[in-house]
Structure 1
Amino acid sequence: MATEEKWVDMEDVSQHLKVNKETIRRWIKTQDFPAHRAGNLLRFKLSEVDAWVRQSSTDNETD
């Protein structure tokens, strides 16, 4: 049986990508970064974050 991916918070994403939280907030506002609201909280799936990073780097290569 496959285990379901856990939701993580901003701190986890910040550590995962090695960027500060303000960078993540800016990406959410300006670059369609994959974030989900749970009330006032932001939650993330690291698989979606990793896919966004891969897509963003691919997009930048074509510019």
Structure 2
Amino acid sequence: MPDPWLSADDIAVHLGVTKDSVYAWIAEKGMPAHKVGRLWKFQTSEVDEWVRSGSAAASGEDESPGSN
């Protein structure tokens, strides 16, 4: 059975990040997302694989501990 399509809010909750982070990752890091009209939709399996591949932690990340 295929994964259900999730909204940006849903995928942000799934990953434990803000929706702003999700949108930034789409634009800057190639997070897998599909535009349906004006909305971004996500499949959990694609996003989980993207995170596991290390793409979410590409170099230049400013969110490391102590960077504040």
Query: How does the TM-score come out when normalised to structure 1?
Result: 0.82
Is 1:26 aligned to residue 24 of structure 2? yes
In the alignment, which residue of structure 1 is the partner of 2:41? 43
Separation in structure 2 between the aligned mates of residue 4 and residue 27 of structure 1, nearest angstrom: 24
| Superposition deviation, residue 4 in structure 1 | 2.1
Q: CA deviation at 1:48?
A: 0.4
Mark the runs of 5 or more structure 1 residues left unpaired by the alignment.
Answer: none
Instruction: Name the TM-score, length of structure 2 as normaliser.
Output: 0.77
Deviation at 1:20, TM superposition (A): 0.2
- Greater helix proportion: 1
- Segments of structure 2 that go 5 or more residues without pairing to the other structure are 59-68
Counterparts of 2:35 and 2:9 in 1: how far apart (Å)? 15
Matched residue pairs, number? 57
User: Would you tell me which structure has more strand in proportion to its own residues?
Assistant: 2
* Runs of 4+ that moved beyond 6 A: none
